[in-house]
A and B are shown apart, each in its own frame.
Chain A
């Protein structure tokens, strides 16, 4: 596939992910926000939410670490490097 076509595909898919999944995220957050004052739904697990947040913490630090240590500088490089490191697998 030509470079331009590939770039277009990646761009479209990225936008799709960010828009669709992002909308779901916002929807979910809005639902929580709008039901704060509703006594009927009291009881839904704050614990599960806290765990979700705790679970996201390592990822946050992971992302920070990678960006700050320059691991995202050349984003396509690692895929060539890993092939170089493992030349002995997949001989034909």
Chain B
């Protein structure tokens, strides 16, 4: 019975060493030139939806973000992403389109790995459940107004929706706060690189 244990020990060591060379050393070599874009680089050219946001909600936009600039866009994206995480939006909305089940017809182009090589996907927000639709091709599908109304009261624009209403991102006059603007800016950014 000692041999029994010893043979397992040797097998364990061998698989370990094999794994170390094939899984550890080699993939590191392939990784050396993958560029990762920073938030500043992404925000260089604000999207059309973001510019439109500054027109649609000019008073609020000026109050919260000043004017349209790479800096204010970066700020909005960063905050929007943080809120998207805080509210766990990603638990009900995935962020990748699969090449199957007609998903490219329903949502848009199939996702590729390069799209996610930037700071905005640190951490990635792929998600594992779709209670609502996928959002990675959301840019431009709806107007800013629709997004805003949907955030305040989802049933007002999508009667069948079971999404919670995020009323706390709006003031007493139902005007968007900084958070609502950032969330819409973020959602309208998702996939904007595809629709350009």
Q: Are B5 and A75 in contact (CB under 8 A)?
A: yes
Known contacts A42-B34, A56-B19, A63-B12: does B26 contact A32 (CB below 8 Å)?
Answer: yes
Distance A21 CA – B46 CA, assembled complex (angstroms): 51
Mark B1-34 against chain A: 1 for CB-CB distance below 8 A, else 0. Answer: 1101110110111011011101110111111011
Query: Whose C-beta in chain A lies nearest to the C-beta of B117?
Result: A43
The interface of chain A, by Cβ under 8 A from chain B, is 18, 25, 28-30, 32-33, 35-39, 41-46, 49-50, 52-53, 56, 59-60, 63-64, 66-67, 72-76
Q: Are B9 and A67 in contact (CB under 8 A)?
A: yes
Distance A18 CA – B4 CA, assembled complex (angstroms): 13
Instruction: Say if the beta carbon of B113 comes within 8 Å of chain A.
Output: yes
Consensus secondary structure, chain B interface? helix
Q: Are A75 and B16 in contact (CB under 8 A)?
A: no
The distance from the CB of B2 to the nearest CB of chain A, in whole angstroms, is 5
Query: Cβ of A74: which chain B residues have Cβ within 8 Å of it?
Result: 1
Known: A36-B30, A46-B31, A75-B1. 17 other contacts (CB 8 A): A18-B11, A28-B23, A29-B18, A32-B26, A36-B26, A38-B30, A44-B31, A46-B28, A53-B19, A53-B20, A63-B8, A63-B9, A67-B5, A67-B6, A72-B4, A73-B2, A75-B4
